[in-house]
Amino acid sequence: MSHDNDRDHRNSGDRTDKGNAASEKKGPDKDAMEKRMSRIRHKIMVLSGKGGVGKSTVAANLAIALAMEGKQVGLLDVDFHGPSIPTLLRLQGRQLSYDGEAIAPVKFSENLKVFSLGFLLKNEDDAVIWRGPMKINVIKQILSETDWGDLDYLIMDFPPGTGDEPLSIAQMLPSSDGAVIVTTPQNLSIIDVRKSINFCRQVHVPLLGVVENMSGFVCPNCHELVNLFKPGGGEAMAKEMGVPFLGRIPIDPAVVEASDEGRPFVYFHGKTEAGKAFTAIAAAIMAKEEGLSKNTGNESGKKPHEGPVVKVAVPVTENRLSAHFGHCDVFSVFDVDTVKKSVLSRQDLPAPPHEPGLLPRWLHEQGVQLILAGGMGQRAQDLFSQKGIRVMVGAPPEAPEAVVAAWLEGSLRLGSNLCDH
């Protein structure tokens, strides 16, 4: 993976508060924003409640790992006060080109484009001293004017905390796929990360999962993993808060060296334990986002095409599929292998309170991609569809394992919608 040759770019780093204030009065082109964002299949926010947890490193390597899988990827760095992406990708000094209508992001490779607020600074040591409204206006301009083209993924790297930047984009992009939360194992980080999870729930951003960074130290000589901090804190917190756990990334001195040199770690050191961890997390996100994309929309119970692991939810009462979807006791969530047609695991989750709009958000946060139900109203089905969750109704009131097994085998018989209200 090599950088494109530097080109003479128009200097857009001399934008001032005065110039931005003028455009703020005019307001962003909302239609242009929606048109540009509609060309991006998956929009993912990378957040953390605490600084120093390696959030930007995770975001950059996640973007690289997705690009290495052949995906068209954009990486958006909206950290006003400490943009790290130019350093991590050796793009210092690059500037954005602007033709009066669209901003062209910097092309890092054939399938990775980058926009960083660091590209707007004349000097990387310059401090950005902008109030909240100014930040919001700049974010609007970025979303409405940046010409990403067609992307599979847009990875958005935010500053730590729950301030203006993530709040603004959460409000402007209600169709975002969700957030990846980065933490380190120790309690001091986890306490702040809990706030990020609660923030996402309050602003209705789906939670794709938690990444535990700096999870142990890999000795460069013997390659043994040594736990510098109490291990497993991020995973335990994710389980306690009902959020998927995406994986652990150990400390590797090569990560620091590669980051300082602007050499993407997952590309140059992909065979290390940390490199494998980055790749596995990217694979987990692709499975969540694209798990059912290889399956045809088959409402008659025919067997799915071969694909990755899929997470299937069944509403259950007294260990049988419940005809009343919104009033079940538990949701049995299965991880199933659609190639081997086997059930890998089952987890019974107590049903959350019966509140309007809660179930689609909650099941999306669990990573569910398919619901097998006895019956469900059309409005509820539409809400699940908006979250990318497929619904099949008319399933029989049998044991949930039997229902899932029949779906895998292509023998599931679907009847009428048992509870269409």
Confidence tier at 10 by pLDDT (50, 70, 90) = very low
30 within some domain: yes
pLDDT at 128 (0 to 100): 56
> 290, 320, 339: which is the final residue of a domain?
290
8 Å CB contact between 41 and 151: yes
Confidence tier at 81 by pLDDT (50, 70, 90) = low
Same domain for 377 and 264: no
303 within some domain: no
CA atoms within 13 A on the CB side of 84: 22
Same domain for 181 and 233: yes
Conformational region of residue 161, where left means phi above 0, alpha means psi within -120 to 50, and beta covers everything else? left
183 within some domain: yes
7 within some domain: no
Same domain for 257 and 128: yes
Confidence tier at 218 by pLDDT (50, 70, 90) = low
Q: Distance between CA atoms of 214 and 49, rounded to whole angstroms?
A: 16
Same domain for 366 and 234: no
CA angle 15, 20, 22 (to 5 degrees): 130
Between 297 and 1, the higher pLDDT residue? 1
Please report, for the domain that includes residue 155, its CATH number. 3.40.50.300
Same domain for 397 and 367: yes
Element (H, E) at 390: strand 390-392
110-168: per-residue pLDDT in tens?
899 999 988 877 666 555 556 567 778 888 888 889 999 999 999 999 888 766 677 88
Q: Is the pLDDT of residue 241 over 80?
A: yes
Q: Which of 409, 242, 281 is nearest to 337 (CA)?
A: 409
pLDDT at 332 (0 to 100): 95
Structure tokens at 385: 């569809």
Same domain for 258 and 365: no
> 231, 258, 290: which is the final residue of a domain?
290
By the 10 Å C-beta count (0-12 exposed, 13-18 middle, 19+ buried), 17 is classed as middle
Residue type, 27: G
Provide the number of structural domains found in the chain: 2
- Give 343's contacts (C-beta < 8 A, 6+ positions apart): 334, 335, 336, 337, 401, 404, 405, 408
Strand partners, 1: none
Q: What is the torsion angle, in degrees rounded to the nearest 10, for the CA atoms of residue 308, residue 61, residue 80 and residue 160?
A: 70
Same domain for 322 and 275: no
11 within some domain: no
CA atoms within 13 A on the CB side of 39: 16
Angle 233-240/187-202 helices, nearest 10 degrees? 30
Same domain for 330 and 274: no
Between 18 and 108, the higher pLDDT residue? 108
Same domain for 285 and 351: no
Average pLDDT (85-101) is: 87
Most confident segment among 28-42, 63-77, 89-103, 362-376: 63-77
Q: Is the pLDDT of residue 23 over 60?
A: no
256-267: per-residue pLDDT in tens?
899 889 999 999
Between 321 and 305, the higher pLDDT residue? 321
Same domain for 107 and 148: yes
Q: Is the pLDDT of residue 315 over 50?
A: yes
DSSP labels, 192-247? HHHHHHHHHHHTT--EEEEEEEEEEEE-TTT--EE-SS-TTHHHHHHHHTT--EEE
Confidence tier at 314 by pLDDT (50, 70, 90) = very high
Please report, for the domain that includes residue 402, its CATH number. 3.30.420.130
154 within some domain: yes
Average pLDDT (56-64) is: 95
Domain that holds residue 89: 17-290
413 DSSP assignment: P
8 Å CB contact between 258 and 268: yes
Q: What distances in angstroms separate CA 416 from CA 323, 332, 373, 381, one per listed residue? A: 11, 22, 11, 15
Q: Distance between CA atoms of 250 and 215, rounded to whole angstroms?
A: 4
pLDDT at 14 (0 to 100): 41
8 Å CB contact between 180 and 58: yes
Q: Which of 216, 293, 205 is nearest to 247 (CA)?
A: 216
Same domain for 34 and 124: yes
Same domain for 110 and 215: yes
pLDDT at 132 (0 to 100): 60
24 within some domain: yes
> 262, 290, 318: which is the final residue of a domain?
290
Q: What percent of the chain has pLDDT over 70?
A: 80
DSSP labels, 104-130? EPEEEETTEEEEEGGGG-SSTT-----
226 within some domain: yes
